[in-house]
Structure 1
Amino acid sequence: MSRSAKKGLFSATNHKLCGAKSGGILVKLNKLLISGIMASLALSACAPQKNDSSILTSGDGIIGGTELKSEDSMSQSIVAVYDAFEGQICTGSLLTNNIVLTAAHCIGLFQEDMYVFFGTAITATSEHRKVEKVEISQYWENRQGEDFDTGDIALIKFSGELPAGYKPATLLGNKRNIKKGAEIVLAGYGIADGKTGAGIGTLRTTKVKIDNPNYSTSEFLVDQTQGTGACHGDSGGPAYLEQNGKLYLMGITSRGVKDENNDCSQYAAFTSTLYYKSWINRMVTRLTSSLVDPNQLMPK
């Protein structure tokens, strides 16, 4: 069973990577990454087939949203996380110049087949970096099938330099404005239509409202019944709270709730970055080889 098919997670959807022919050969993204041969390919929804190197959208895309441009400040801290072995795409947020915050269920079985992609429209020619190390919440292994407190959080360290124009997100430092009805901002590379599966690979954003700030000890719930929200492909992506015109990262897209039709039209659960503050700081220290002060990541 794929990670995205486990209880509570948005089911994975096959989106074959259809590309232009290069030298008469139709190449697919994961083969290109492994071989280092790049061609101009675009992500689009196609009929799935066995052993087809498909793109699987893991967990949660942005429904009812708008596309982000490279010059938008929000897009400068968001990346795509790609598992070449499973052909699965997720979303993540930069915490430092080479560490990404994402969902635990986005981490592939084989670390050597994972990559971080940059850009607002992901193709095989998009700039990317190889994943070096990962850290997954200690709770995930035993609680991933539970309804609450699943520990769906992970950190990724990638090799190489951060591309020009990118910068780390700012994490929320307190919970005083996290309350029922508060408007938050979501973003991700997932599908734009929960019924047709169209739109994967393009970075979009939308706004939703918090339905339950205390859905569980480590999670909050958002209302997606108004036609906007996260969907297949946005797993690991950010949820922001806006304060004084600035966006603060407060959550990680995890899974659908009460979404029996699997069309992302009901509710979604998010892992709280505030709850995992100490864990994030410890794991950044473990992953980084620089002298970054982890206490600077999240205000006291």
Structure 2
Amino acid sequence: MGKVLSVVLVVFSVSVSAIVVRHDVPDKAYLAEPDDFPPLATFYIDGAHGTLVKPDWVVTAAHATFCVNPGSYIALTNGYHRVERVFVHKDYQPGKSHDIALIKLAKPVNDIEPARLYEQSDEQDKHIWFMGIGGTGDGLKGQVVDNFANAGILRKAQNKVEQASGPWLKFKFDSGAAALPLEGVSGGGDSGGPAYQIHQGKPYVLGISSRFESGGLGRYGVVEVYSRVSFFKAWIEKITSGEETVQAQLATPALTSLPGGLTTSMLPDVCADIGLKPSTTWQAAP
């Protein structure tokens, strides 16, 4: 494995959103299909995700956008889509709060239904789903397969909102009788992925994968933190309104601080290694 890719894996390991599963449930029970949550977007060859929330807008974690730039591509289930602009919350504090960003696509996506933004403040104790292609493992051993080695295998898992407060939703990886049938948490590799529900056939996004707060990566008892969509709904609506003056007041066009392990000098090589590029096997959006 090359040095650049090794650095990327370290970056992803201190953030979250790949799926780590129960040790007493077969891994195959967690395998997912893109149609389980069609608004899921993927940024890099080994992970990092977002959610389509309007035909030409994707919401994600701020720190996941380190290689997402105007002119680069992200993937949805129907192919590649070119990025027009990036908006990072101006109050983003790495590892602390406001870990949210929006990606404006060059052209709208008309054949995928966007997820709805969850508006209510009643998330406490709700059951949600996580989804991602990053690293995996089980609650006893933690993450044992990194996001590169997982090779794009998509999984989903359930969890319960333990705390809904201010800009955060928090989840814990329970075991035994306290665990849901497909209990799971995020590992390393898919930051920005959704905590979502399907209600009356419609997809809703409640949270955005940000980081883990305590416990070992992917082990039982670990507490994960997601940016709370209901808290940031007003910000999302203002940015997606297209008012440039408002956008300039509320967001920056790129990260002002790179995730740990990355430097400005190595970033071009990192992005060249992990960036998505239109191919003959998965055609770019027209």
d(CA) in 2 for partners of 1:249 and 1:173?
Answer: 10
The answer (yes or no) to whether the contact 1:222–1:267 under 8 Å persists in 2 is: yes
Q: Which has the higher contact order (CA 8 A, sep 6+)?
A: 2
> 2:189 aligned to 220, 230, 233, which one?
233
Aligned to 2:69: 111
Q: Normalising by structure 2, what TM-score?
A: 0.67
Structure 1 residue 162 and structure 2 residue 120: aligned? no
* 2:185–2:218 Cα contact (<8 Å) kept: no
- Residues 1:77 and 1:168: Cα distance change in structure 2 (over 3 Å): same
Q: 2: CA distance between counterparts of 1:118 and 1:110?
A: 15
Return 5+ residue gaps in structure 2 as ranges.
22-28, 138-142, 176-182, 245-286
What's the offset of the Cα at 1:113?
A: 6.7
- Residue 262 of structure 1 and its aligned partner are, at CA, apart by 2.9
CA distance in 1, matches of 2:189, 2:205: 19
Quick check: 278-287 or 250-259, which moved more?
Answer: 278-287
Please say if 1:262 is aligned against 2:217: yes
Cα pair distance change 1:192/1:262, threshold 3 Å: closer
- Give unpaired runs (5+ residues) of structure 1: 1-47, 120-125, 289-300
- Number of positions where the alignment pairs a residue of Structure 1 with one of Structure 2: 218
- 3-state SS in 2 of match to 1:235: coil
Shift of 1:159: 2.2
Residues in 2 aligned to 1:53 and 1:269: alpha-carbon distance in whole angstroms: 25
CA distance in 2, matches of 1:130, 1:264: 37
Amino acid at match of 2:2: Q
User: Where in structure 2 are the equivalents of 1:202-241 lying within 5 Å?
Assistant: 202-214=153-165, 217-226=166-175, 228-241=184-197
Q: CA deviation at 1:50?
A: 1.9
- RMSD value, Cα: 2.8
Closer, same or farther: CA 114–267 of 1 in aligned 2, 3 Å: farther
Cα distance in 2, alignment partners of residues 249 and 88 from structure 1: 22
Q: Which position in structure 1 is the counterpart of 2:59?
A: 101
Deviation (angstroms), 1:162: 2.3
How many Å separate the matches in 1 of 2:3 and 2:19?
A: 27
The one-letter amino acid paired with 2:136 is: A
Per the alignment, residue 254 of structure 2 pairs with: none
Q: TM-score, normalised by structure 1?
A: 0.64
Percent identical across equivalent pairs?
24
Q: Which has a greater percent of helix?
A: 2
Match of residue 195, structure 1, among 117, 126, 144: 144
Are positions 1:78 and 2:40 aligned together? Answer: yes
User: What is the CA-CA distance between 1:185 and the residue it aligns to?
Assistant: 1.2
What are the superposed Cα offsets for residues 195-244 of structure 1, whole Å, 9 maximum, x if unpaired? Answer: 22242523321101122222xx2101101243611121221111124545
For 1:269, the aligned partner's letter is: V
1:50 paired to 2:3: yes
